[in-house]
Amino acid sequence: MSGLVEFMNGVWGRALRIVLGIAIVAYAVIGLEGIAAIVVAVVGLVPILMGIWGRCLIELVYRPARSAN
């Protein structure tokens, strides 16, 4: 899991999150109507903002287990 977090915090992971977020927002604006469009657009903003911020949401939730040494 730490490899995924490391990738997502890198340049390519951040770019991927921003692009996917833009795609989700575009889908909401073009393909949906009403409350569904608003909800999906807000959900699409999360990866965009996290990509700009530079931290992966998985990193904030995932805490690796520490050894008992």
Residue 32 resides in a domain: yes
Q: Can you give the pLDDT of all 69 residues of the chain as single tens digits?
A: 677 778 888 889 889 899 999 999 999 999 889 999 999 999 999 989 888 887 777 777 776 655 555
Give pLDDT, residue 3.
78
CA 47/CA 56 separation, integer angstroms? 8
Is 10 within the bounds of a domain? Answer: yes
* pLDDT value at residue 64: 61
N- to C-terminal Cα separation, the chain:
21
Provide the domain count of the chain: 1
Which residue segment(s) compose the domain that 16 sits in?
Answer: 2-61
Q: Does any domain span residue 15?
A: yes
The pLDDT value recorded for residue 28 is 93
Q: Is residue 68 assigned to a domain?
A: no
Domain annotation covers residue 67: no
